Structures are given as structure tokens and as C-alpha cells.
Amino acid sequence: MRRVTRFQATKDDSDTREVTAEDTEDSEANMENQQELAEATEELTTAKAIMCLSNKMTEMKDEIKQELAHFKTEINQKLLNITTDIRNQGTSLAKSEQRIGELESANKDLRDALLHSIKQQKTLMTKMTDLEGRSRRNNLRVYNISENAEGSSMSSFMDTFLKRELSLREEEDLQIQRAHRSLGPKPQDKHAARSILVNFQRFDMKDKVLRAAWAKKIIFDGKVITFANDMPTEINNKMKEYKDIKKSLKEAKIRFQTPYPAKLRVHWEDGPRVYKTAKEAAEDARKRGLSVEIPRSSDTDWEQVLTRDTHWNKAGNTHTERVRERLRVFQND
């Protein structure tokens, strides 16, 4: 009895062990299945994610293509507009260059014509001044004789005055043709007086009277009477520019002369020198140590201004072409 029970117990233990082994195998199989299921689920999720990402990338790709196409269209349109603008600007620039060339050509021609006119005017003014100076050669100007001192006849007064003050012979005929005060209003100041213009029939007589007047000091009514040649206004204005220079030369005791029409001859230690303008004389005097201000000329040399400021020539023409053009014009003239 005890043996049977022990056998049965052993059989039960074996069955238990068999069941436990089977359960273990089932558990392991379940775990493997679960693991495979999890892996399959994970792969499915990954596949879904990849599919979703692929779809999004496809959508983004389509959007990028659309945007690039739109951008390309805009760029092409803008390039077309820019090309049109450049073409229009090129046309406008060509027209502007043509107009500028025409203006340069016209301006140069006008400048040349103006320079020619200025040269002619200077020549005519020089001739007119010379003619006016020659017409005044027989005139003598007398300064500082009081107003109304001449009485009723200026010619008779000056004839008597010159003979008396210059110690000339009474019977000598001074050949005074006319005598009168300078044209202009009578000064309000009683101490001021207009100059007297005396016209002689002969130049040699006028020169004789002038030299005699310069040789002595004449005082009339308490005033020093001065004599001078009658010169055109243009020459007088130029002579006034030498005023400060002559003053400095007198202070330095340097001998000088004022030849006609408006020059200055200075006798320097190294020899005499003649100056045609006050500026030239002042610059040389400064170099020699005299304190002289450089005078500013009242007349503008427009010929020099035009030549200095408009030194350009026609655009597009070489120097050789311009020379040939001038030669052709010269030959035609």
C-alpha cells in the first residue's frame, strides 16, 4: 500500500513537472509572440510615420515647385522690365549724347564767335581811344582855379592868366580857340572847382605852355594850380592805377615817367624799364623791395577768361581731326 502511494506520488510529480515545462514553453512562446507583435507594431508605426513623412515631403516638394515656378515667373518678368528699362535708357542716353554733342559744337562755335567779337571790340576800342587821344592832343587841363574867377569870357581870362603866370610875352598869340569848364554840375562846395579845358589851335603852342607850367609853381587865390594833358577817360582810369606805385617811387626817390598812353617808365639802378600795366609794375617793384599793393584792374579781360575757363573741345573729335577741320576752314576762308 505504501508502495502504490509512493508510485502515485511520483507519477503526480512527473506530471507536474511536465505541466510546468509546457507552461514555461508556452510562456516563452507567448513572450516571443508578444515581442514579435511589439516589433511588428513598432515596424508598422515606423512605416506609418515614414509614409506620413513621405507624404509631407511630397506636399512640401509640390509647394516648393509651385513657389519656384512663381518666383521664376516674377524674376523673368522683372528681368524683362529691367531689359526694357535698360533699352529705353540706352535710347535716351544716345539722344542725350547727340544733344550734348550738338550743344558742345554750338557752344564752341559761339565761344569762337564771341572771342572773335571781343578781339574786334578790343581793336576798335584801341583805335577809338587812340583817335580820341589824338583829338585831345591840343587840349590842356587846368585844375584848382576857383569857380567864377573867369568872369564873362573864359578864353580871355585864360589868355591873360597864362601870359601873366608863365611870364610869356604880351604880344605873343597863344592861339586859344576855346576854353570852358569841364562838363558837369557846378559843385555845391565853394572850395571845390571844376577843371578848365583849354583848346589850342596848334600842338606846339600847347606843349610850350604845358612845359612852362610844369617848370614853375603857380599859386592863384591861395591854391596851387596844376596843369595836365587832356586824355580819354579810359587812359585816365588806367593812369589812376599807378597812383600808389608812383607814391612809393617818390618816397624811395626813384625817377619815373608816364609815357602815353598809360605806361610807366621807371629808372632803376640796373637801367630803365617800361611797364604796360600797373599790376606788372607793382609786382616788379615788390621783387625789388618796395612795399606796394598789387592793384586790381577795373577792366575784365574777357578774352583771357573765356580762353581759360572753356578749354574743352568738341566731344568725339581727336586732336588731329580738329586740326584738319581748322585747316579746311582756313583754306575755305
Q: Of 81, 102, 136, which residue sits at a domain end?
A: 136
**Which 3-state string (H, E, C) describes 196-260?**
EEEEECCHHHHHHHHHHHHCCCEEECCEEEEEEECCCHHHHHHHHCCHHHHHHHHHCCCCEECCC
CATH number for the domain spanning 159: value is: 3.30.70.1820
Is the domain of 109 the same as that of 22?
A: yes
**pLDDT for res 7:** 42
| Residue 213 resides in a domain | yes
**pLDDT for res 2:** 43
C-alpha cell at 167: 611870364
**pLDDT for res 93:** 85
In 3D, which of 261, 290, 257, 291 has the Cα closest to residue 274? Answer: 257
Cis peptide before 261 (omega within 30 of 0): yes
**pLDDT for res 113:** 86
Is the domain of 55 the same as that of 126?
A: yes
Task: Please give the model's pTM, rounded to 2 decimal places.
Answer: 0.57
Q: What's the structural domain count of the chain?
A: 2
Is the domain of 132 the same as that of 19?
A: yes
| Residue 209 resides in a domain | yes
| Residue 251 resides in a domain | no
In this structure, the strands spanning 139-143 and 218-220 are unpaired
| Residue 20 resides in a domain | yes
**pLDDT for res 40:** 80
Q: Which domain covers residue 60, as residue numbers?
A: 12-136
CA–CA dist 217, 110 (Å, integer) = 57
**pLDDT for res 155:** 94
| Residue 184 resides in a domain | yes
| Residue 101 resides in a domain | yes
Is the domain of 31 the same as that of 16?
A: yes
CA–CA dist 174, 287 (Å, integer) = 47
Is the domain of 189 the same as that of 226?
A: yes
Residue identified by cell 621783387 is 287
By the 8 A CB rule, do 179 and 195 touch?
no
In 3D, which of 233, 239, 264, 229 has the Cα closest to residue 129? Answer: 233
C-alpha cell at 196: 578848365
Is the domain of 23 the same as that of 47?
A: yes
C-alpha cell at 123: 581793336
Is the domain of 120 the same as that of 169?
A: no
pLDDT in tens, the chain (333 residues): 444 444 444 545 555 555 566 667 777 777 777 888 887 888 888 888 888 888 888 888 888 888 888 888 989 998 999 988 888 888 888 888 888 888 888 888 888 888 888 889 989 998 999 999 999 999 999 999 999 999 999 999 999 999 999 999 988 999 999 999 998 888 888 888 999 999 999 999 999 999 999 999 999 999 999 999 999 988 888 888 888 899 999 988 999 988 888 889 999 989 999 999 888 999 999 898 888 888 776 666 777 777 766 555 554 455 556 556 666 665 665
Q: Of 110, 136, 162, which residue sits at a domain end?
A: 136
Is the domain of 147 the same as that of 180?
A: yes
**pLDDT for res 5:** 47
| Residue 33 resides in a domain | yes
Q: What's the residue count for the chain? A: 333
Q: Of 196, 230, 264, which residue sits at a domain end?
A: 230
**pLDDT for res 181:** 95
Is the domain of 80 the same as that of 154?
A: no
Is the domain of 179 the same as that of 217?
A: yes
| Residue 194 resides in a domain | yes
Is the domain of 109 the same as that of 179?
A: no
**pLDDT for res 328:** 67
Going from the C-alpha of 281 to that of each of 235, 241, 268, the distances in angstroms are 16, 10, 12
**pLDDT for res 4:** 44
CA–CA dist 111, 45 (Å, integer) = 93
Give all strands (DSSP E) within 19-160, no chain letters: 139-143
Is the domain of 56 the same as that of 92?
A: yes
